Chain A
Amino acid sequence: MKKFINRHPNQYGRWVLGILPFVLLLILYVAASNARLAENPNDPLLPSLMQMGDAIQRMAFEPSKRTGEYLMLQDTLASLQRIGIGVGVSALIGLIFGIANGAIPYIRATLSPLIVGVSLVPPMAILPILFIIFGLEELAKVMLIIVGITPFLIRDLQQRTLEIPEEQIIKMQTLGANTWQIVTRLALPQIMPRLLATTRLALGTAWIFLIAAEAIAATEGLGYRIFLVRRYLSMDVILPYVMWITLLALMIDFLLARISRWRYPWFHASS
C-alpha cells in the first residue's frame, strides 16, 4: 500500500470529506441545543434551528412593527453601502499611490516612509478621532474602513509594481515610452488584477472595521443589529446574522475572483 502522504481522495471523496466537518458541527450544535432546551425551554444561549428560522422570518420577511421596514434588508443595504464605498475608495487610492510609489523613485522616497508610519497606527485607536472629526454619521464609518485598509493596499501594490520585470521597463523605453506611458501602458494594466487579489484579502479586514464602527455608533447595519440584540441575549438573531455576513463576504470574494478571471485571463494563466 502506498504511503499516506501519496494517497489522494478522488473527486467524490473530496466532496464528502469537505462537507463532513460542517455536518459534524451541525450535529454537535443540534445535540447541545436540544440538551439545553430540554432542561430549560427558555434558555437563550443555543436556540434550536426552529427558533432561528422564526427569527429569520421575523427579521427578513416581515415589516418591523415599529418602523414598518424590513430590518434585515435595511441592515444589509446600509452595511453593503458602507463597505462598498469604503473599499472602493481605498482601492482607488491604493491603486494610484501604489503604482506611483512603485514606479517613480522620487515619489517613493517622499511618500513611502509616511505610508509605512501611517500603516502602523492601529485604526481602532483613532476611531474616536474619526467620530470627533466626521461626526457619528456615515462618513466616520467609511473613513474607518479607508484608514484601516488603504495603507496595506498601497504597500502591497507598491511591492507588486516594484516586481514588474526591469526588462519590460527597459523595453518600453526602447519603444519610445515616456514616464507617463510606462505607468499607463505597462504598470497600470499589470497591476489591475493584483489590485483585485489584494482587495479580496483586504475585505476581511474591512468587515472587521465596519462591524466595529457599527457596533459603536449606528442606527442600522448588520453590526449594529448584532450588538443591539446582544442586550437581550438573542442568539436566535445573532447566529443567522453572522452566517448571513459570512455568506455576503463569500459572495463578494467570489465575485471579485470571477471578475479577475474574466478580465485578466493572461494573469491567471501565467501565474
Chain B
Amino acid sequence: MAMIELKNLWKEYGNDVVLERLNAKVEAREFVTVVGASGCGKTTFLKLMLGIEDPTRGELLLDGEPIPGEPDETRGIVFQRYSVMPHLDAVGNVMLAGELEASRWLGRVFGNRRRKLRDDAIAMLEEVGLGHALDKYPHELSGGMQQRLAIAQALIKRPRILLLDEPFGALDPGIRKDMHELVLRLWKEQNLTVFMITHDIEEGFFLGTRLWVLDKDRLDPQAPQAYGARITFDLPVGREDQKTYESISSRLDTTARAIG
C-alpha cells in the first residue's frame, strides 16, 4: 500500500479553487519535489499535509487513513523562516523534542537523562555541520546555519515524513548547494519520505526522485481563480533532458503572469 495517497483532492476557499482533482500515490522513501508558480497552491498542499487545513473534497490518506487533522510527530517540518526557537541556543533547540517527550508537564529534564539528550543533540548537530556552534543562539547564526539547525531539530524526532517549505529560498547559491547535499544524505540515512516545496524549478529538477509540477492546466485570464492547480507533470527525475525542463519552465512563467 502506498504511504501517501491523494484521491481526487480539492481545496477551495469560497469561490477560489486552489487545488483540484489531485490524484497521486507516494511510496515510503520517495523524495518528491513540488514546484509551481506563486499562487499555484504549493503552500496550500503543504498545509493539507501538515493537517492545518482540511481538504474540501476528496481524501488525503496516510497509510490508508485520513491524515491527522493537526500537526504531530509523524510529519517534521522545516519552513523558510522562523523554524527554530529564538530563545533557545542550538543544543537547546535540538534537545527540545526529547525534553517534550520525556516530561509531559515540565517539558524539561535533569540529571543523567538530560546529559543523554544533550549528547544525542550534539551528535545530531555535528551530523549537520554545526558542531562548532553548539551554544550559539539562532540570531548569531547565518541563514544557512539556521536552516541546518532547523533540519537537525526536526530530524532528531525521527519523523516518517519530512516536509520542506522552500527551505533554501533565502540562501545564497553556493550555500544552497551544500544544503542540497546535506538533505540528500540525511534522506538516505534516515529512510525519510520527503516533500520539498520550491519555486526554483531547477532545484526541483535535480534534487530528489520525483518531480510534481503544480500548475493550472485550465486558465481563464479573466478569472484566474476559477480553476485550481493540478499536478500537470509527475516525473521521475534525474534523467530528464534539458528540453523538458525548458518547456515546464516556460509554462510556469505563463501561469505566473496570468495570475499576476
- Of the candidates A165, A175, A264, A266, the one whose C-beta lies within 8 Å of that of B96 is A175
Write the nearest CB–CB distance from B96 to chain A, whole angstroms. 6
Q: Say yes or no for B76: interface residue by CB 8 A criterion.
A: yes
Query: Which chain A residues numbered 185 to 226 have a C-beta less than 8 Å away from chain B?
Result: 185-186, 189-190
Please determine whether B100 and A270 come into contact, CB atoms closer than 8 angstroms: no
> Is the pair B159, A269 in contact by a Cβ cutoff of 8 Å?
no
Contact B83 A176 (CB under 8 A): no
Q: Is A51 an interface residue (CB 8 A)?
A: no
Pick the contact of A177 from B76, B79, B107 — CB < 8 Å? B107
Whether the Cβ atoms of B82 and A165 lie closer than 8 Å is yes
Cβ contact within 8 Å between B79 and A174: no
Q: How far is the CA of A168 from the CA of B87 in the complex (A)?
A: 12
0/1 interface trace, chain B 69-108, chain A, CB 8 Å (1 if under): 0111101110101111111000000001101110011111
Given contacts A174-B75, A178-B104, contact A186 B85 (CB under 8 A): yes
A181 at the interface (CB under 8 A from B): yes
Taking a contact as CB atoms under 8 Å apart, the answer to whether A264 and B87 are in contact is yes
Are B154 and A174 within 8 A (Cβ)? Answer: yes
Contact with B along A92-131 (1 / 0, CB 8 A): 0000000000000000000000000000000000000000
Establish whether residues A180 and B105, one from each chain, have CB atoms under 8 Å apart when the complex forms.
Answer: yes
List the B residue with the shortest CB-CB distance to A269. Answer: B139
Per DSSP, chain B at the interface is loop
Is B206 on the interface with A (CB-CB < 8 A)?
A: no
CB closest chain-A residue, reference B75: A174
What per-residue 1/0 map shows which CB atoms of A226-269 lie under 8 Å from chain B? 00000000000000000000000000000000000000111101
- Whether A174 contacts B82 by the Cβ 8 Å rule is no
The answer to whether A167 and B139 have CB atoms under 8 Å apart is: no
Q: A168-B82, A168-B85 are in contact. Are A174 and B139 (CB under 8 A)?
A: no
- Output the residue of B83, B85, B153 with the most chain A CB within 10 A: B85
Cβ contact within 8 Å between A181 and B104 = yes
Say which residue of B72, B85, B87, B101 sits within 8 Å of A174 (CB atoms). Answer: B72
**Known A175-B97, A181-B104, A264-B87; 13 more pairs at CB < 8 Å:** A165-B82, A170-B77, A171-B79, A172-B96, A174-B72, A174-B154, A176-B97, A176-B157, A177-B100, A184-B106, A185-B108, A267-B86, A269-B139
Taking Cβ atoms with an 8 Å cutoff, the residues of B that contact A are: 50, 52, 70-73, 75-77, 79, 81-87, 96-97, 99-101, 104-108, 137-140, 153-154, 157, 159
Give chain A's interface residues, CB within 8 Å of chain B. Answer: 165, 167-168, 170-178, 180-181, 184-186, 189-190, 264-267, 269-270
